Structure 1
Amino acid sequence: MKLATFISHGIQYVGALTDAGLVPFHHAHGQDVGALLHRGLGAGDLGALVVDGLPAVSADSVRYLPPVVNPPKIVCIGLNYADHTKESPYEQPDYPTIFPRYPTSLTAHGEAIVRPLCSDSLDFEGELAVVLASGGRHIPKDQALRHVFGYSLFNDGSVREYQFKSPQWTVGKNFDKTGAFGPYVVTADELPPGARGLRLETRFNGELVQSADTSDMLFDVATLISVVSEAITLQAGDVIVAGTPSGIGWARTPKLLMRDGDVCEVRIERIGTLSNRIVDESRAATAPTTRQAA
């Protein structure tokens, strides 16, 4: 099932995509996918929510929000595709490269990715996002996928100038409204275990710029959950962003960076397409949105 958090007629809902459109869940005003997870609802509970749902609305008529609006944690993984490491200034690590994102850095499908006033080095990174249904510490790898609720899309918009100002990447990865997330979370039961074997593509102004298979990840989803939980208590609603393949704009000659008016799309088969227009910070408050989701 595909779940979304969205605003329709001025009211925030969480709901499911059906053949009839988006079905808002009854008694879910003001909630998001994360609220369902905190209630302990799993994929098996969702069918009843659809049957009991409100009348469907067109998926093209709503304003999308990040599926989990305020995740407890957003744990990002760098250098998780060998071809991307080769185009970077780094050696391939034998341990996942882990860094945080913060909820203030998120933006939604159809909303602007904001290019900051202080830098013109905003780059794209298409990635798989993993949404957790439950957490804990010291999760064994062979049990890790039991903690996954579903999978989504992420564009890890990166302000490279600030990313490389120090050995820590955190600032360059956390400018407001640079990390696009959504539009849907696809429940894990509808995808291969660990979302392996799916084609990931990024298009920039319609041109294919990144293409990979999620099986190419050096550290798979189960490994990432297990490794992160060695140090950090994971929680329902946490998001793990699993890394980008080669093709980033910063590694090209000449560099291909996101500018006002550009459109960037991330697609993973069976999950959907995440589309965002790039808008300069100076006019972000008045920029139009794009509604269509796939």
Structure 2
Amino acid sequence: MSKLATIRTSTGTRAVKLDGDQHIDLGFSDLREYFAAGSPAPAADAPTYPVAGADFAPVTQPSKVVCVGHNYANHIKEMGRELPEYPVLFPKFAETLLGANDDIVYPVETEALDWEVEICVVIGKEVRRATDEQAAEAIAGFTVMNDISVRDWQFRTIEWTQGKIWEATTPVGPYVVTPDEVGGVKPALEVKTVVNGEVMQNDNTGTLVFDPVFLVKYISTMITLKPGDIIAGGTPAGVGQARDPKVFLKVGDKVVTSIEGLGECVNTIVEG
């Protein structure tokens, strides 16, 4: 049973494990290195850091982030689309990621900045062409992502990537929570987005069209998933793009994306 994080310290980033009001140093600079080393127990004399005031870095520096679109039935309906037969996939890159409490600098190129709360699968073991059992074993845990989307760029073409890869716009964290703490590898957890105190999204991961095990199995068919890689599981209904009239983030807004048992990302939109 573990809650794991990567925090910023005066000597660089460190992979840590939550233990009461302290973080225990796991002996690695981030969780990607920790998972790749086989997730060893911390040393008996490992340094500790106070939880209070912790500066969370992105939970991992992944070799890849694979995002899933249209994975909640309600969101698919609000966007006017049919339920997909197969997962809708697009990439992100490590440069897009922020810590759970970092500010989000408003991109000057957009007038349509949107929120998307997502549960993320974090890979703990290398896996390719996984069986169901292998896919489940490869899941180190789950974390929270706010897949901030630049909608006016996203919909310039039928392919979404250009609206999803804006540098330093995607908070992820604060913790990677192991499956045993949240009901297993197919958890049913409340997901929520709150903007300036108003609830914008509220759903449950139990309604995912494609569950975490299926996603690991499916994606690993195409490409090797490595320790620290992230699969973002899609967002529920309530995005600003689908509202009438549309509602988008602006400078000064506070956006909180949370998932039951995993924690929350709390971010302020600031001027660049």
Q: Tell me the TM-score range normalised by the shorter chain.
A: over 0.9
State the SS of the aligned residue for 2:153.
helix
Which deviations, in whole Å up to 9, do the C-alpha atoms of 1:236-262 show, x marking residues without a partner? 111000010000011112212111111
Say if 2:118 is the partner of 1:127: yes
Once the two structures are TM-superposed, the CA of residue 205 in structure 1 deviates from its matched residue by: 1.1
Task: Determine the structure 1 residue equivalent to 2:33.
Answer: 35
State the identity as a percent.
35
Deviates more, 1:110-119 or 1:186-195: 186-195
State the SS of the aligned residue for 1:193.
coil
Give the letter for the 2:30 counterpart.
D
1:261 to 247, 252, 256: 252
Say if 2:68 is the partner of 1:67: no
Q: Distance in 2 between matches of 1:215 and 1:3?
A: 23
Task: Determine the structure 2 residue equivalent to 1:211.
Answer: 202
Aligned ranges 1:79-94 → 2 under 5 Å: 79-94=70-85
Q: Distance in 1 between matches of 2:135 and 2:13?
A: 32
The structure with more helix, counted as a fraction of residues: 1
RMSD over equivalenced CA pairs, Å? 1.5
Conserved 8 A contact 1:23-1:50: no
Q: Distance in 2 between matches of 1:103 and 1:242?
A: 17
Give the letter for the 1:234 counterpart.
L
Aligned ranges 1:70-149 → 2 under 5 Å: 70-149=61-140
Which sections of structure 1, spanning at least 5 residues, go unmatched? 283-294
Once the two structures are TM-superposed, the CA of residue 130 in structure 1 deviates from its matched residue by: 0.6
Once the two structures are TM-superposed, the CA of residue 22 in structure 1 deviates from its matched residue by: 2.0
Task: Determine the structure 1 residue equivalent to 2:3.
Answer: 2
4+ long deviations beyond 6 Å:
none
Which sections of structure 2, spanning at least 5 residues, go unmatched? none
State the SS of the aligned residue for 1:276.
strand
Conserved 8 A contact 1:112-1:177: no
TM-score w.r.t. length of structure 1: 0.88
1:55 to 19, 24, 48: 48
Task: Determine the structure 2 residue equivalent to 1:19.
Answer: 20
Q: Distance in 1 between matches of 2:130 and 2:69?
A: 21
